Amino acid sequence: AQTVTQSQPEMSVQEAETVTLSCTYDTSESNYYLFWYKQPPSRQMILVIRQEAYKQQNATENRFSVNFQKAAKSFSLKISDSQLGDTAMYFCAFNNNDMRFGAGTRLTVKP
C-alpha cells in the first residue's frame, strides 16, 4: 500500500527566510502525481503545487518549489521569502488513482 510520511509535525521560520518541508512516500508504481496542499487557519484546503512523476524538472509556483527525488521517493517543499500568510498546516499527497495524504506539518512564520 502506498504511504506518505511527513516527519516534521511542526516547524517555524522567520519572516523573509526560507524553509523546507519534508515528505517521503512509498510506492512500487512508476506513474503518479505528488501534491502539496496548504490548510490555513480558515481550514480551506488549497493546492500549492503539483509534480507529475514522469517529469524530471522540479515544479515551481512563485515562492514555492519542490525537490523531487524519484529514486529516493522524496518530495520536499521549499518556501522562499516566507510571509506571515504562509502560516498553515501543509499536507503532502500522493495520487496513483488513489489519493493518500501525509499527517501534515504545521508551519508557523514568525514576524
Question: Which stretches of the chain bind other proteins, using CB under 8 A?
Answer: 31-33, 35, 37, 43-47, 50, 91, 95-99, 101-104
Q: Which residue number, 18 or 31, has a Cβ lying nearer to other proteins?
A: 31
Phi/psi region, residue 87 (left: phi>0; alpha: psi -120 to 50; beta: rest), is beta
* C-alpha gyration radius of the chain: 13
Q: Which residue number, 16 or 103, has a Cβ lying nearer to other proteins?
A: 103
Q: Write down the least CB distance from residue 16 to other proteins, Å.
A: 28
Q: Which residue number, 84 or 99, has a Cβ lying nearer to other proteins?
A: 99
What whole-number distance in Å separates Cα of residue 31 and Cα of residue 52?
Answer: 8
Q: Write down the least CB distance from residue 69 to other proteins, Å.
A: 20
Q: Which residue number, 16 or 45, has a Cβ lying nearer to other proteins?
A: 45
The DSSP call for residue 84 is G
Q: Write down the least CB distance from residue 44 to other proteins, Å.
A: 5
